[in-house]
Amino acid sequence: MITLNWYVVYTKSRCEQKVANLLSKKHYRNYCPLQKVENYWSEWKRTGFEPLFPSYVFVQITESEQKQILSTPGVLSFIHWHDAPAVIPDEEISAIANFLKDHEQVRLIRNRPTDDQHLVPYNYFAQQPTLQSLQNAIKVELPTLGYYVYAPFKTETVSMPGLDSGSIAF
């Protein structure tokens, strides 16, 4: 029986979408999670998409197909964990996809100490919040990747009938 696993491919900087397109043309199932971002240029605003995980693309392949993936332009290596390519469970890929579908402003936070500094540049997450400061956020844990994906709540004020000019913020 052939087993398909999700692996993490490390790509050249800013080549994630290009690699994902090349893998799709080769008929490999892949996923490059994108988040919506707004860039401001002088007096106008531009909305675009950036990868949630810089330099990462997830690909679902068999173990024997790894050499073919490495021959794809823009692919540098597979992310390894304990001297073997890291295998990501289907549930975590689904959780990322569902979370991005439901929330627009999504960010990452490390879940474990950075004993694997080579995975993501350290300064990329230099100004990240702590888990304690994310009381007003929706979080999804990705234990295999070692991250939380979170989206802050939007605070809304609602008037409640029967209260003397009071309101409740939630």
Residue 114, pLDDT above cutoff 70: no
Query: What number is the average pLDDT over the span 4-17?
Result: 97
pTM for the structure as a whole: 0.78
Euclidean distance between the first and final Cα of the chain, in Å? 51
3/129: higher pLDDT:
3
Pairing of β 34-41 and β 44-51? antiparallel
89: which strand partners? none
Options 1.10.3720.10, 3.40.50.300, 3.30.70.940, 3.40.190.10; CATH for 5-169 is 3.30.70.940
Measured between alpha carbons, how far is residue 36 from residues 1, 5, 48, 49, 69 in Å?
39, 27, 6, 5, 27
How far does Cα 136 stand from its chain's mean position? 20
Query: What number is the average pLDDT over the span 112-122?
Result: 50
